[in-house]
Structure 1
């Protein structure tokens, strides 16, 4: 049984004046049964450096919070437990600790989902039970799919998912999960080391991920700034080269990217991807009425032999990157569509020019119709 009053009294006599002062406020709120205000104070308390030493948070939970945990908002209770979880040296005891909290909050979907994610995190990083973690991810995904909007649990869920896919070497799945994690996480809450780690692994996943041809969202994210001034700064240049289908830049950066073992081991895959992106970019840059690309043009831009161009086009068509018709006799392809992508600044400028061109064409058509309206109406 928790001895709340005895614990508060002991903490008020702490040599740390900040701790003593905070517990004086906590005691007042506890005696007045102001549970919400008390929860707010506790969330601030657990962030203090002095509370992160040894088992201070475990003691806080077992000797104080356990006394009134049924009065606390279920999600807040799990969030407090999540901080205390880090001070459990024994992983089995940690799972029992968080599952005990889970039994008390199982009626609340958000809180129950977060408990499962925390258990999954321990099973993945402490026991490498990937199959069990995959089951947890699928279960939590169904729970969160019924939630309207983004909850505080989504960030932890996507981080767990991305960690599993990174360990499994599933680049495309990791790329999507990690981007979602960053999408519901304040970048300022991450240390520079964490930002650099995410930027590095995301960049590799974008380059190596099967079916990943949209780099715009990553290139626009602030997390890439963490690579500036580091030994991996070249990754940003390489991403821009791929996004614009710049084969020459890709070759120019080869001395850099071949120093990374995963990239060096997949040189053929990388070359094929940058060629496919080059073809997409060639299609995108042309006006809708001028999208007949000759095999010679494609060979020149991609540096591929002409006899391999048709195979490249067929791969692009089969993967849904472009749509069009190949004319083998004439040696060209008539492109009718290119897969939408998140655009970088240069690509947005191209799109603006296209919009201006379309607008002018519409205006010219309008003037023509007005001038010839009389002739049309006589028929």
Structure 2
């Protein structure tokens, strides 16, 4: 053991409380025994302790006086994980970047660790709102991330970074996609309640405002929404259910709430078009496949549009790939042959159940018809 390490550990054991001193004693014991794997695991546990986070400088001292002495013996990914915690002590941007660049030289060739290092750099730039730099890192690192097998903690860190970037950029659709990816990589119970609340609300806004998002079922089924249910933000969950089922009445009755949220108030007309498209999808979905001829008048009544606006609505739905079919301008009707698959809520599943039951009944009747007419056919 070097004199520097011995002096640091001795000083810390003498100046801290009994519990923290025991941590330092354990680190010293593993270091002396050269049990590098066990020492790495113990160090990963230590850097998470509140003792190191409650006062600035302690993590940096731990790294400079202890970890740096045996960092060449630490698994590259674990070294980068430890470095991520130590970065919390670097308030200066330039010092933080210099620290990460130094670590990158020591983990070269290890993909997961390299992705985590780039993510750490992205977090530094995002704190200083240097979005062009963050964008470069995300674009350059995505391909490397895609080469990794399975889902790791590296994925969650990267998707958290990318979702934060798209939120700052104001790209609702990308924020929605990346946040769902991030939530799919973590144990939700490990996310603090206030963070769950913030994520759930931001994600709900992104779902409503995002271009091309016409499937709310995945979010509505996600446990993250429990964080805002029965709170002052319950209204946005109810609004998403209204959009998911194309409920125009619910949308119109929520105008007072929408007007109080600046982003939603600004996008009111786009939201009206989106829910009308979803209403058309729901009308198509609710009809049996052999009866999907819908008149302009029926669509106008459900969407509360003028009859002369229905054709444009149908054309937009067709162009977006939400439905397939034909428009008969002469007879003022549309004939739908397909509707985009969606994650269904319980009421929609109930509709599907009824249609399957009807289909089974039709098959049974056809079977009986063939059985009754079999004699005539065979003779």
User: Could you tell me the TM-score, scaled by structure 1's length?
Assistant: 0.95
- Give the gaps of 5 or more residues in structure 2: none
Deviations 1:15-38 (A, max 9, x none): 311111122222222222222222
Instruction: State the match for 2:62 in structure 1.
Output: 60
Counterparts in 2 of 1:294 and 1:8: CA distance versus 1, 3 Å: same
**Distance between the aligned counterparts of 2:238 and 2:287, measured in 1?**
24
Residue 327 of structure 2 is aligned to residue 329 of structure 1: no
Instruction: State the match for 1:262 in structure 2.
Output: 263
Deviation at 1:370, TM superposition (A): 4.1
Deviation at 1:146, TM superposition (A): 1.0
Deviation at 1:376, TM superposition (A): 4.3
Deviation at 1:297, TM superposition (A): 1.1
**Distance between the aligned counterparts of 1:69 and 1:327, measured in 2?**
72
Deviation at 1:310, TM superposition (A): 0.8
Deviations 1:58-89 (A, max 9, x none): 11111111111121111111111101101111
Deviation at 1:11, TM superposition (A): 2.3
Deviations 1:136-189 (A, max 9, x none): 111111001111221211111111111111111111111111111111121111
Deviation at 1:357, TM superposition (A): 2.3
**Distance between the aligned counterparts of 2:52 and 2:372, measured in 1?**
81
**Distance between the aligned counterparts of 2:106 and 2:366, measured in 1?**
69
Q: Over aligned residues, Cα RMSD in angstroms?
A: 1.6
**Distance between the aligned counterparts of 1:16 and 1:101, measured in 2?**
31
Larger displacement relative to structure 2 (162-171 or 314-323): 162-171
Instruction: State the match for 2:102 in structure 1.
Output: 100
User: Could you tell me the TM-score, scaled by structure 2's length?
Assistant: 0.95
1:335 aligned counterpart, secondary structure: strand
Counterparts in 2 of 1:246 and 1:21: CA distance versus 1, 3 Å: same
Instruction: State the match for 1:85 in structure 2.
Output: 87
Instruction: State the match for 1:277 in structure 2.
Output: 278
Deviation at 1:377, TM superposition (A): 4.8
Deviation at 1:13, TM superposition (A): 2.0
Instruction: State the match for 1:124 in structure 2.
Output: 126
1:324 aligned counterpart, secondary structure: strand
Instruction: State the match for 2:356 in structure 1.
Output: 355
**Distance between the aligned counterparts of 1:275 and 1:210, measured in 2?**
14
**Distance between the aligned counterparts of 2:3 and 2:228, measured in 1?**
48
1:3 aligned counterpart, secondary structure: helix
**Distance between the aligned counterparts of 2:75 and 2:358, measured in 1?**
57
Larger displacement relative to structure 2 (54-63 or 31-40): 31-40
Deviations 1:207-240 (A, max 9, x none): 1111110111111111111113433221111111
The question of whether the paired residues in 2 share the 8 Å contact of 1:2 and 1:67 is answered with: no
- Give the gaps of 5 or more residues in structure 1: none
The question of whether the paired residues in 2 share the 8 Å contact of 1:144 and 1:154 is answered with: yes
Instruction: State the match for 2:150 in structure 1.
Output: 149
Aligned equivalent of 2:116, options 114, 117, 123: 114
Larger displacement relative to structure 2 (111-120 or 216-225): 216-225
Counterparts in 2 of 1:365 and 1:15: CA distance versus 1, 3 Å: same
Deviations 1:336-370 (A, max 9, x none): 10011111121122222222222333333344444
Instruction: State the match for 1:37 in structure 2.
Output: 38
